[in-house]
Amino acid sequence: MTLPRRDYRAVIVGGGVVGLYTAHHLARAGAGPVLVVDRGYLSSGASGRNGGGVRQQWETRATVRLAREAVEAYRRFGRDFGFNIWFRQSGYLFLAETPAELGRLRAVHDLVRSEGLPSEILDPDGVAAHLDGIAPNATIGGTYLGSDGTLFPFPAIWGLYEAVRSAGVDVALGVEAVGVDVANGRVAGVRTSDGPVAAPVVVNAAGGWSGDFSRRAGLEVPNVATRHEILATEPLKPFLDPMVVRVSDGLYFSQTMRGELVGGLTLPHPPGTSAGMPSSPRFLGAMASALVRLLPRLASVGVLRAWSGFYDDTPDGLPVLGEDPRLPGFVHANGFGGHGFMLAPATSRRVARVVLGEPTDLDPAEFSPARFLGPTPRVAAERLQLG
Ligand SMILES: Cc1cc2nc3c(=O)[nH]c(=O)nc-3n(C[C@H](O)[C@H](O)[C@H](O)COP(=O)(O)OP(=O)(O)OC[C@H]3O[C@@H](n4cnc5c(N)ncnc54)[C@H](O)[C@@H]3O)c2cc1C
């Protein structure tokens, strides 16, 4: 593709949910010409490979607030973008097997309730009321929040893509950002596979490849890409409302409106993107045992397909949002781990303000890239990296 122009107010690297939502907020703010480049196709990154879970149960207050704002945005998505993303607020059910896990969930519950969200603590009978067919003694209790839910990622990406293009944003698919031009100590443009582009700001929304792109700009960052596998079963008669998440092994699954169970679990893979995005027999075995241990009647259910994608992990489990103090004009919108879809509407609104030089309510100690640079201790960590 040949880029339609050579100078922009901002270039966004990555056309996933984070890049497109940021472009949307910039267009709404009347930012001027904005370019989104993606070297792949629409939804080729994690935004087209995820479980569609959207939850507000978190260990840090800031994340609860961002997720709550995102839930409101997804509730309005049909009205705002004219696309049905099948957002169903049918709850998230967290399961504990040990008193320590239940204690951890109780702390989350207290925090979430202190934010005005009606989280519930459940005993095993309360869990069974949400999870028909659960094995005896499979849990000692859990938490549930009914306004959490799931959505279908593809129409969300499609809707954002159509919206930003109608608002005048240029979206160049199949175009790679290969480097950053610097003049007078700040960003002056982006070098792409389609030639150079002048811009005072570049937003790194490259998901699992964000660390690679930061390094292309000469910036060392602690982001690590980790591969996560996921599968979909054959369709089953509807029996499950909430997204279910087990604390011990990170098992998560929900039932889509087509009847398939979609889910995964935490299985370590070597860090980095070099192995690509295959799926493995090891995952299929581990996932099958984990599911059947919880719901024995799923033992004979067939798997339709399996795939994988990259989480973009940070040392403290919080995303990196804001301008890099080492290179003015280089703005991070990355490090979302396994939860960027559910945070993107809220974080992107703030990142757009950063691009425009406007203040935000983001606490730099929690979100700024500077938190990894100096000896200053980090103040918060988000460890509920499950489901
Ligand atoms: C298996 C799995 C399950 C998940 N489940 C959930 C869930 O239930 N809920 C949830 O909220 N989140 C979930 N996530 C995480 C979520 O999908 C991601 O956090 C989110 O999609 C990240 O969006 P993004 O736009 O930052 O990145 P991506 O969607 O990965 O987009 C980044 C884009 O950048 C492009 N790119 C990279 N480098 C360059 C370059 N140099 N030049 C040009 N383009 C480049 C890539 O081609 C890619 O399209 C899951 C992720 C996985 C893998």
Enumerate domains of the chain plus CATH numbers. 1-86+148-223+314-387 (3.50.50.60), 87-147+226-311 (3.30.9.10)
Decide: 19 in ligand 1 pocket, CB within 6 A: yes
The whole-angstrom separation of Cα 59 and Cα 338 is 15
pLDDT at position 330:
98
pLDDT at position 268:
84
Task: Read off φ and ψ for residue 258, nearest 5 degrees.
Answer: -90, -5
Q: Ligand 1, atom 30: nearest CA belongs to which residue?
A: 45
pLDDT at position 270:
87
Decide: 267 in ligand 1 pocket, CB within 6 A: no
pLDDT at position 5:
96
Contacts of 368 (CB under 8 A, 6+ apart): 320, 321, 322, 325, 362
Distance 336 CA to ligand 1 centre (A): 8
Distance 12 CA to ligand 1 centre (A): 14
Contact 291, 307 (CB under 8 A): no
Give the CA angle between residues 332, 337, 341 to the nearest 5°: 80
pLDDT at position 375:
72
Distance 282 CA to ligand 1 centre (A): 23
- The number of the ligand 1 atom at minimal distance from the alpha carbon of 252 is 8
- Each residue's pLDDT expressed in tens, for the chain with a length of 387 residues: 689 999 999 999 999 999 999 999 999 999 999 999 999 999 999 999 999 999 999 999 999 999 999 999 999 999 999 999 999 999 999 999 999 999 999 999 999 999 999 999 999 999 999 999 999 999 999 999 999 999 999 999 999 999 999 999 999 999 999 999 999 999 999 999 999 999 999 999 999 999 999 999 999 999 999 999 999 999 999 999 999 999 999 999 999 999 999 999 988 888 989 888 889 999 999 999 999 999 999 999 999 999 999 999 999 999 999 999 999 999 999 999 999 999 999 999 999 999 999 999 999 999 999 999 977 656 678 777 776
pLDDT at position 377:
55
Distance 327 CA to ligand 1 centre (A): 24
Q: Ligand 1, atom 39: nearest CA belongs to which residue?
A: 206
Distance 23 CA to ligand 1 centre (A): 16
DSSP 337: B
pLDDT tens digit sequence for 58-80: 999 999 999 999 999 999 999 99
pLDDT at position 2:
86
The whole-angstrom separation of Cα 91 and Cα 242 is 5
pLDDT tens digit sequence for 80-110: 999 999 999 999 999 999 999 999 999 999 9
pLDDT tens digit sequence for 332-381: 999 999 999 999 999 999 999 999 999 999 999 999 999 999 776 566 78
Decide: 210 in ligand 1 pocket, CB within 6 A: no
Decide: 51 in ligand 1 pocket, CB within 6 A: yes
Give the burial string for 159-181 (b: 16+ CB within 10 Å, else e).
Answer: bbbebbeeeebbbbeebbbeebe
Q: What pTM value is reported for the model?
A: 0.97
Decide: 156 in ligand 1 pocket, CB within 6 A: no
Decide: 153 in ligand 1 pocket, CB within 6 A: no
Do the strands 149-150 and 53-54 form a parallel or antiparallel pair, or are they unpaired? antiparallel
Strand order in the sheet with 186-192: 177-183, 186-192, 195-198
Distance 49 CA to ligand 1 centre (A): 8
Distance 310 CA to ligand 1 centre (A): 7
Distance 262 CA to ligand 1 centre (A): 17
pLDDT at position 108:
96
pLDDT at position 381:
80
Q: Ligand 1, atom 10: nearest CA belongs to which residue?
A: 339
Q: Which run of H or E residues covers position 295? A: none
